[in-house]
Amino acid sequence: MASTEELAAVTATLFSLLATRRTPQEPDTTHTRAYWRRQPPAPSRPHSWR
């Protein structure tokens, strides 16, 4: 069994990773509809893909 200190360290690491991933400095714009709407229609990426 993991000790309480180890569990706390793992939890803190996970939360820090989640916080880093949610920073507004680098938004994930590749999955937004506006991004796909701006892209030109291509055979490999049709507009109906998203």
Structure tokens, 47? 């507009």
Q: What does residue 42 show for φ and ψ, rounded to 5 degrees?
A: -125, 150
Whole-number pLDDT of residue 43: 61
In angstroms, what CA-CA distances link 22 with 25, 31, 48? 9, 14, 28
Whole-number pLDDT of residue 16: 82
Whole-number pLDDT of residue 4: 92
Each residue's pLDDT tens digit, 1-50: 678 999 899 998 888 877 766 655 555 555 666 665 666 666 665 555 54
Show me where the domains of the chain are located.
Answer: 4-38
pTM for this prediction: 0.35
Please name the residue ranges forming H helices in the chain: 4-21, 33-38
